[in-house]
Structure 1
């Protein structure tokens, strides 16, 4: 789990992309905000992994804090780095459709306070400069051959094509934004930032089917303990 300092809606924060590697593969899960490539590179080097060994980036979803530095990474690398995302997210990430949060702000632009209009303009510019082509689209329950096997779990709700990644060998769930950790406790993502809260709850219930010992949340970091029990609590809360 990488720890990158970030400015999140005007507040100092930490975001947590994940690097998975073995002798054959180096995979980055999510690519931070725009202009975080140097932080990502330094995080690789801190772990003793050459940044040039990166071959794959899996994007859990379309939000700017997850896709932001993917294009910069592609431009810097000498060898090919493949971009993976769920098939429902492809048109948002490659610029064919406006990201859902941006479209929502745009639809209410006339009624937004000035500070939100500034956020909208900043988001719009960020997305326009972060458009990147998805090389391979993913579907639910797909097995990726990297690092002992990674299972793709389609968990829509936060966005239409949000995914979690399950490492069965290690019983680790990379949760993207469906969950977060606050004050040491595993919690639901803020409903106000979800595309569809009812769909998000169905996706959360789906996670109960998997034996999970650790969760890596993009916001909040690692949660250990009786994960399945905690997710069950969240499903009835």
Structure 2
């Protein structure tokens, strides 16, 4: 028997309330966390996990969907406190998570800095500084598209590039659930592309949406927006149409 918990973390950023939704998969052998929040989020993560009667100390594995800071920001701290946790990521993302390659988000922010207005530059400098502060950590296991992992009733890795080259989603065939991470987000109750203006490859992101249509999905969970309420296939098809007209 396996369980699934949506770990909603509410916080304030720039005076606005925001929510991110990591996920925990649980069975008699494992408790697997998918993504771990911004830097300095360990306390918030712990509180959110505890609400589902799970302890961070019981986490056995951490699947990272990609190296954006809201997904890996607390990774190094989490690994320091709980060194037994096994870190898993796509083979293309591992060098960025481990600090062997410069964050693509940092490269993007630095390359666009000079084009910003004087009013925008202080915020950009703050963002760049935060990206530079992300502490790397070792990836213990790399995965690739359609790789099947035997934990928690069976996990299939779905490579969904676009937002980031090594971005992955996680498909749980037993419950027909897709943990989409940032492949899609929910805005005003509808599916959308996550920050299309900052998506590394928008055409690739659309192709990833088409790839998701290959799966039988009853439940779709987005990192930004939580559980989608509606016809998943129909909503994905509509989103694809919006970008391919």
In the superposition, the TM-score normalised over structure 1's length comes to: 0.93
Q: Which residue of 2 aligns with 1:104?
A: 108
Alignment partners' CA distance in 1, 2:63 and 2:130: 19
State the partner residue of 1:19: 24
Structure 1 unpaired stretches of 5+:
none
RMSD: 1.6
Residue 209 of structure 1 is aligned with which of 207, 210, 214? 214
| Residue from 62, 74, 77 that aligns with 1:72 | 77
CA contact (8 A) 1:102 1:120 kept: no
| Residue 54 of structure 2 is aligned to residue 55 of structure 1 | no
How many pairs does the alignment contain?
Answer: 236
Write the deviation string for residues 79-138 of structure 1: whole angstroms up to 9, x where unpaired. Answer: 511111111111111112222121012123323234543344333443333311211111
**Equivalent pair of 1:67/1:130 in contact (CA under 8 Å):** no
Q: Give deviations 1:136-156, integer Å, cap 9, x for gaps.
A: 111000111220011000010
Partner of residue 228 from structure 2, selected from 220, 223, 229: 223
Q: Where in structure 2 are there 5+ consecutive unaligned residues?
A: 1-5
Q: Which residue of 2 aligns with 1:159?
A: 164
State the 1:9 CA deviation.
5.9
Q: Is the 8 A contact 2:190 2:235 kept in 1?
A: no
TM-score (norm 2): 0.90
How has the CA–CA distance of structure 1 residues 180 and 68 changed in structure 2, closer, same or farther, with 3 Å as cutoff?
A: same
Is contact 2:106–2:128 with CA below 8 Å preserved after alignment?
yes
* Corresponding position of 1:181: 186
Determine the C-alpha separation between the residues in 1 that align with 2:97 and 2:114.
Answer: 26
